[in-house]
Structure 1
Amino acid sequence: MEPIQKTDSMKNQKFFLPFLLSVIVPIFVLLIFAFLGVSEVWNRKISDSFFLLLPSHNSFSKDVVIVDIDEQSLAQYADNPDLGRWPWKRTVYPILFSYIQMGAPKLILVDILFTESSEDDSSLAEANRSFSNISHAVNFRTDIGAQVDEKKEKNRKFEIPLPKDSPFPTFNTVSFPNGEIGETTPFVHAVNIIPDSDGTLRRFAPFLKWGDSHYPTIAYQGFVGSGTAKPYLEKNFLTLSKNDKTFRFPLGKSGLIRSYFYSEKQIREIPRYSAGGVLQSQTMIQTGQAESEADLIVPPGFFTDKIVLIGTSAAATHDDVVTPFGLFPGVIAQAVFISNMIENHTLYEIPEIWGGLFAVVLLTIGTYVLFFATHHWLRIAFPVFATAVFLVSFYVCYRFNMVLPPSHFVTSFPVSYLLGYAYLTYIEGKDKRKYNSILRNLVDPSVVSHALEDLESLKKGGEWEITAFFSDVAGFSSISEELSPSELARLLNEYLSAMTEILKSNSGTLDKYIGDAIVGIFGAPLKNALHPELACKASLTMIQKLAELKASWVEKNDYTESARKMKIRIGLNCGPAKVGFMGTESLASYTMMGDTVNLASRLEAAAKDYGADILVSETIEAACRDHFQFRFLDRIRVKGKDQPVQIYSLLNTKEKETKDEAKGEITYRRAFDFYTGQKWKEAIQEFEKAQEFFGKKDAACQLLIKRCEVLFQEPPGENWDGVFSRTTK
């Protein structure tokens, strides 16, 4: 079957609109979101959600511990004037430092600001002089209208040599530890936290800038410990050389590093020792209550070779931050940042352009699958497949400490598929309405819904066994000449409507009208194994219906006498044929093609010679002989075909067969055997006997008698096969 022809403009339109809706529009939406900064926020929020579900593949550093001024520490010394309220007097901290130093830690990081003057500053200054591994907190601020303060010489020892145009966050005001504390502290570190625009803390800076000078943050200072590192910037990476090892940290916008927050369980299990327990352990040593280190609440050995953070978690200290895992004390977040740098667990945020390209590739493939794939199950399977590809890709990147931007796929793919499905639904609905309109004029409405369930197959068609139906009105030209145009139109409408209704009610499909002729198909577009029987039933019903119409016309004295005596001839044949919509994209009809169809047409024309109302092929007779009465007529070779075929007249249903008709059939077949055996006289005698059962004017008997008389005069020869070759259609 030839496919429906499509112009280049039609093809381009069919490709452009799906591509526009399923690819271009989602990309445009992504560009708007990227321009507004929405995609960046969504990337981090969505990735947070995934991180909550994915198992952690990194472990928190064993080198980091916390001394926590918690609720227990405040409650334990509620009656102590120095410890029972917050903030603690600064004379308490040297006691903590001293006890921690007994365990020989690498560095003590104080996550508490001492930027204001106090009468106890000298005690902290003395501790700074005694211990060379203490780092005090610095607070950076951006004050509106303030200018960068001129840096004093005392602060230059804390500066980090980095290019002035580095991307790190810049501030115009810095609060260093007050007075003697700042002058004597071995190290300083910034304790600023920089949450994202949604208030969640996900990133940290290794350095902060005051004017053109760089200062370490608590994360960087915890990484180097009490030693040093050589930092230098390389594109979007910070490279640090420490102890002959090189570490590379990916820098995002504003010089911030995306933190790996491990898991909620690991965060809650970070070693935290109550500051009250440390102080109590110190008292136990001083009073001799502990005979060994094991008797202490917090043994000094817990701090050996550790980075020790001293911070707060008590509610009164107001030092909570929002993390991807919820609300945690700020010191916990700082500990995570230090662990990230020590263990090189920071996350590389893949640039958004790659997340967009990843999404575009899947959108393009999805568009092809949705609109052009031949297997409909792919439309359902591909979203699952694409989601799986995205999740696997995200997870693989995550395992390598990279973050694939998720918002592009999560946003664009549903939009793409929703728009695509909406457009596809509209197009298929439009197609179904078009084909529904066509089919309802061709087929019984009850069949239409079934045929439209697989619209693509319906449009494509195929080749399978059908029954071809041809009918024609005998002598219609003469009838039409006797009628006025309006009467002719009325006659045709009445006749064709009645016949078509019978065709459709028997699951037949109207192929076309050719003037008064009707061409029909049984067994398509909806396959039906009973198509030969349905065709026979419809044909007999049409003959009966025509008799009813003629009786009505006679009663009404309608039309002309010729019209009232109208006869029709029907030809039926079943076999393989090509069926489907053929024509152009804008004008197509459901039709059939092939030898099976041609033979049915020839049988309808041959019916006139045999005086048969319904002439059928041997395939119809073989399929329906158990239910219908057939009369054998001849073996013929139609024009344009070498293969002979046996032809039969369809008389009635099997149960209505009479004894005379059965005897006549036997006699006729015996006569035909004489005929094929070239026994012309015997054949003529038997055909004449057959007429006694079928009637004196039986056309088939008279035709064969005349043929025998001719062949008697002009014998066909020894090689004659008994097949009559028709020279006309």
Structure 2
Amino acid sequence: MKRLLPRLIFGIFCTFWILGHVVQSWHIPLVALFDHYFYDVRVRAFMPDTQDERIVIVDIDEKSLGELGRWPWKRSVLAELVRRLADDYAASVIGFDIVFAEPDDSSGLPVLDAMAHGPLRDNVAYQRVLAGQRAGLDYDRRFAESLRGRPVVLGFYFSNQAGASPGSRLPPPLLFEGQPSPGQFPVWPGFGGNLAAFQEAAASGGHFNPLMDSDGITRRVPLLGAYAGSYQPTLALAMSLMLLEAEKVRLFAPAAGAPVEWVDILGKRQILRIPVDADGAALVPYRGQEGSFHYVPAADVIAGRADPELLFGKIVLVGTTAPGLKDLRATPVGGSYPGVEIHANLLAGVLDGEIKERPAYTLVAEALLLIVAGGGLAVLLPFLSPLRGSLLTLGVLGALLGANLVLWQNGVVMPFASVALVILFTYGFNAAWGYFWESRTKRQLTERFGQYVPPELVVEMARNPEGYSMVGRNAEMTVLFSDVRNFTNISEGLDPKELAALMNEYLGAMTEVVRRHRGTLDKYIGDAIMAFWGAPLADPQHARHAVLVALEMQQAVKALAGPFQARGWPVLKIGIGINSGTMTVGDMGSPVRQSYTVMGDAVNLGARLEGITKEYGVGIAVGERTRAMCPEIVFRELDKVRVKGKATAVSIYEPLCQTSELDDGRRAELAAWQAALEAYRLQQWQEAERILQGLLRQKPDEPLYCLYRERIVHLMQVPPLDGEWDGVTSFKTK
């Protein structure tokens, strides 16, 4: 649990850190950036990418400038444009994405008026001619007259600079039912509007101030804007009001003082609902890339050569794409997108009821998802394997993404960045922590146990490193001691290099046998080997593995005889002692040096048994507990002994082979031997000798039989006193 704590803390911290962003306690730019990015991806993935035939953009383009001269054009030209659109092409509504803030003096009328009031004020003929030509030369008046009585909506802009542009005027305030939430809709200190004569003559007006998000991209337009206590609609809303013949809108808020959630256009024939967000802005439903609406050159309209099928009865927006005049914006569907098309997209969305909403409950839902999904993964991932953790993370992300896209298709914009980032951060930290922890753990396990156990066991231990420690503990285990017979004589007969080579080859072969059977190599003591089973990796068959190792070690020594003789080395013989029981295992030693080893009475007995093998002329001797734990192995009982330092007698055995390998002849021999041993313990010396004589006829050089025959001969000559015989052999030395 200790190693999981940092992962739990990090996951929970991420969850509540990003939760703070969601509830707006603090702003995290990365979350906002990712949320914007995912919003744009959804826009591009699901936009219809078709042209809207209802809306046409009359374009002040390069062609028109080439025909009619540089901008600004004479207001008389613009008056003709309005007349053509309204009268000849019967446009249902005309919106200008242009501000007419300054008077048009291009006709020279101000100069003529100055002369009329100056040097020519007494010239009756001049005054008569000027009066007759004034109407034709007053281009602003002609433009104002062209606006009057026609469905024209003029655009204007709000400004952060206090005050109004000279001579400009705002349209009449928007009429609405309901009460705007304080601070929800943008409030500006100034505006740049159209000349009063134009705005008074026009049917309506609307602002064209978009809202740029923190990354500079236009995704929203504030539906209403406030100046000096009055509210003005955006250009698209003003045009929609005219199309629906609506005089006012209705603001809906779930409670007094709560943010407005949508704006209803109260048309004579229908009501259109426009959702707004916490900033009073509508999300622009982009149809596609630039060109989602038909463009018609303004010069073609003015000349009367525009295609009537494109323009007749359509909604018209007048804007410009000419270099130097082009109003370009960064949008989700393009980095240089015409501003006039933003109004067209919003207008089309309003008319279709396709404005997506981001209601207040999405904030609560987002917070709940963070707590449930983010917090849940933060708690679960530390306890799962990498595969299961990855599958769970992918499953949760996939489910949340699918639900998010379903909501999008149903018109609800559900934030995704916060919960996705929490999940990715939590998973990434868990994966990285797990990787580095696992690498560190494997390295530590290798450092700790690599010199004792085979590499494959280290890998197995690394799957659950908490289960393995070098701290001392008690466990039932099996220990093995092996020793080379007459090693002193052998070492004296070889030079140091040959002795080192011999021992390296011998110890290498024996170590390989130990490791093959999952043994832990404790140490080399000169020519002796100490190994044990049952730690650090639990081994329910520790006794069986140790006995099999002893049998294989004897075979391996015999296999070395040929190569050793070929090199002039002596043939080795080894004795092995094995014992099972409760032992203390752990890292033991001094501050200078420590070793992972076993200690206890059971270990001491194992060491004594290795020395006893010489007395009985056998290669292996095991204790009672070891024999009891290996029912599938055939043992020959050697004796009951009382070793030095122990008052209790124990039976000792020699493992011969596995049960499946025992033939009938060997089985009969073992039965005869057991009968001789029983007679011996019952002091039936003649019977025991008789059986032994029969066994010696078969195997005259068997050391064990010879040992017992000598004992019986001595006991028959010097019988034990009454009460002194217990059939136990006591050893006074180690």
Paired residues of 1:207 and 1:214 also in contact (CA < 8 A): yes
- Gaps in structure 1 of 5+ consecutive residues: 1-10, 284-295, 475-495, 546-554, 556-565, 625-629, 639-643, 655-661, 711-724
Q: Deviations over 1:649-701 (max 9, x none)?
A: 479xx9xxxxxxx9995883573597699999887545324335655673356
Q: CA deviation at 1:578?
A: 13
Task: Tell me the equivalent position of 1:124.
Answer: 143
Q: Deviations over 1:349-369 (max 9, x none)?
A: 776675465455444444445
Q: CA deviation at 1:392?
A: 2.4
Q: CA deviation at 1:32?
A: 8.1
C-alpha change, 1:151 and 1:238, in structure 2 (3 Å) is farther
Paired residues of 2:520 and 2:535 also in contact (CA < 8 A): no
Task: Tell me the equivalent position of 1:227.
Answer: 246
Task: Tell me the equivalent position of 1:395.
Answer: 405
Are 1:537 and 2:542 an aligned pair? no
Give the alignment of 1:214-293 within 5 angstroms.
214-225=231-242, 226-234=245-253, 235-241=258-264, 242-243=266-267, 245=271, 247-253=273-279, 255-264=280-289, 268-280=291-303, 282=304
SS in 1 for 2:293: coil
Task: Tell me the equivalent position of 1:612.
Answer: 618
Task: Work out the CA distance in 2 between the residues paired with 1:450 and 1:419.
Answer: 28
- Gaps in structure 2 of 5+ consecutive residues: 105-137, 469-475, 485-502, 561-569, 588-593, 642-650, 716-726
Are 1:142 and 2:160 an aligned pair? yes
Paired residues of 2:482 and 2:530 also in contact (CA < 8 A): yes
Paired residues of 2:169 and 2:196 also in contact (CA < 8 A): no
TM-score, normalization by structure 2: 0.66
Task: Tell me the equivalent position of 1:100.
Answer: 85
Q: Deviations over 1:261-294 (max 9, x none)?
A: 2333xx53323333333334x35xxxxxxxxxxx
Are 1:405 and 2:415 an aligned pair? yes
C-alpha change, 1:579 and 1:236, in structure 2 (3 Å) is farther
Paired residues of 1:511 and 1:591 also in contact (CA < 8 A): no
Structure 2 residue identity aligned to 1:215? Q
Paired residues of 1:239 and 1:246 also in contact (CA < 8 A): no
Task: Work out the CA distance in 1 between the residues paired with 2:547 and 2:445.
Answer: 25
Task: Tell me the equivalent position of 1:113.
Answer: 99
Task: Work out the CA distance in 2 between the residues paired with 1:90 and 1:579.
Answer: 107
SS in 2 for 1:171: coil
Task: Work out the CA distance in 1 between the residues paired with 2:665 and 2:285.
Answer: 99
Paired residues of 2:169 and 2:195 also in contact (CA < 8 A): no
Structure 2 residue identity aligned to 1:671? A
Task: Tell me the equivalent position of 2:358.
Answer: 348
Q: CA deviation at 1:388?
A: 2.6
Are 1:332 and 2:341 an aligned pair? yes
Q: CA deviation at 1:49?
A: 4.5
Paired residues of 2:482 and 2:575 also in contact (CA < 8 A): yes
- Identical pairs, percent: 15
Q: CA deviation at 1:335?
A: 0.7
Structure 2 residue identity aligned to 1:113? V
Task: Work out the CA distance in 1 between the residues paired with 2:377 and 2:83.
Answer: 66
Paired residues of 2:520 and 2:533 also in contact (CA < 8 A): yes
C-alpha change, 1:46 and 1:581, in structure 2 (3 Å) is farther
Task: Tell me the equivalent position of 2:672.
Answer: 671
Structure 1 residue identity aligned to 2:426? S
Task: Work out the CA distance in 1 between the residues paired with 2:582 and 2:229.
Answer: 83
Paired residues of 2:639 and 2:729 also in contact (CA < 8 A): no
Task: Work out the CA distance in 1 between the residues paired with 2:141 and 2:43.
Answer: 47
Task: Tell me the equivalent position of 1:372.
Answer: 383
SS in 2 for 1:85: coil
Give the alignment of 1:554-593 within 5 angstroms.
568-571=575-578
Paired residues of 2:532 and 2:546 also in contact (CA < 8 A): no
Structure 1 residue identity aligned to 2:533? I
Paired residues of 1:572 and 1:614 also in contact (CA < 8 A): no
Q: CA deviation at 1:311?
A: 1.8
Task: Work out the CA distance in 1 between the residues paired with 2:706 and 2:181.
Answer: 116
Paired residues of 1:690 and 1:701 also in contact (CA < 8 A): no
Q: Deviations over 1:326-376 (max 9, x none)?
A: 112111011112123222423427766754654554444444454212x34
Paired residues of 1:201 and 1:322 also in contact (CA < 8 A): yes
Paired residues of 2:154 and 2:205 also in contact (CA < 8 A): yes
Find 1:16's aligned residue among 5, 10, 13: 5
C-alpha change, 1:25 and 1:449, in structure 2 (3 Å) is farther
Task: Work out the CA distance in 1 between the residues paired with 2:584 and 2:154.
Answer: 85
RMSD: 5.9
Are 1:633 and 2:636 an aligned pair? yes
Comparing 105-114 and 318-327, the one that deviates more: 105-114
Paired residues of 1:191 and 1:217 also in contact (CA < 8 A): yes
Task: Tell me the equivalent position of 2:191.
Answer: 174
What is the aligned residue count?
613
Task: Work out the CA distance in 2 between the residues paired with 1:570 and 1:663.
Answer: 28
Are 1:66 and 2:56 an aligned pair? yes
Q: CA deviation at 1:166?
A: 4.7
Are 1:299 and 2:303 an aligned pair? no
Structure 2 residue identity aligned to 1:111? D
Task: Tell me the equivalent position of 2:132.
Answer: none
Q: Deviations over 1:582-609 (max 9, x none)?
A: 99xxx997999xx9x9x99999799689
Q: CA deviation at 1:206?
A: 0.9
